[in-house]
Homo-oligomer: A and B are copies of this chain.
Amino acid sequence: MSKYELIEVGQSASTSKTITEADILMYGAVSSDFNPVHFDSVYASGTMFKNRIAHGMLTAGLISAVLGTKLPGPGTVYLSQNLKFRAPVYIGDTIAAEVQVLEKIDGKNQIKLSTVCKNQNGKEVLTGEALVMLQV
C-alpha cells in the first residue's frame, strides 16, 4: 500500500519544544523579523503582552515540523495552512504541536489536518488547518 493509503482519518502525531532565547535570536536572523516585542524587554513591558514574546510564525514552524517529519512525514508537499494566533508564547514556554487527520481527498493524494499548538498549561496558542499532498 502507498503511504497515502496507510493514513487514516483520526490519526494524530505531535512534537514539543521549549522556546529558548537562542530560538528567538536565530528566528530573527532567518526571518529578518526584528520587531522589538521579540527582542527589547523595555519596549515589551509597555505592550499588552508585558514581556517579550516569541514570533507567532516561530510557533507555526512546529506544525510544519510534525507534518514534514512525522505525519504524513517526508514526501509531504505543503499546499496551504490557516493559522489563528490565540495567545502569546513566552521564552521558556514548552509548546506541543499536534496534527490530526480530518479528511482524505482520494484521487488527489491530499490530506486535510487540524493543527493545534498548546503551551505547558494546555492553553491553545495557535490553531488552524493544513492541506498537504503526498508525492506519488
Interface residues of A (CB under 8 A from B): 15, 17, 23, 26-27, 29-38, 43, 47-48, 55-58, 60-65, 68-69, 73-85, 135
Contacts and interface: CB of A to CB of B under 8 A. Distances in A.
B15 A65 contact: no
Number of this chain's copies in the assembly equals 2
A84 B80 contact: yes
Nearest to A32: B65
17 contacts: A15-B32, A17-B32, A23-B30, A30-B30, A30-B58, A32-B69, A33-B69, A35-B68, A35-B73, A36-B74, A37-B68, A38-B68, A47-B135, A55-B68, A56-B81, A57-B57, A57-B81
Given A29-B26, A57-B61, A64-B55, A34 B80 contact: no
Contacts of A34: 65, 69
A27 B61 contact: yes
Contacts of A27: 26-27, 30, 61
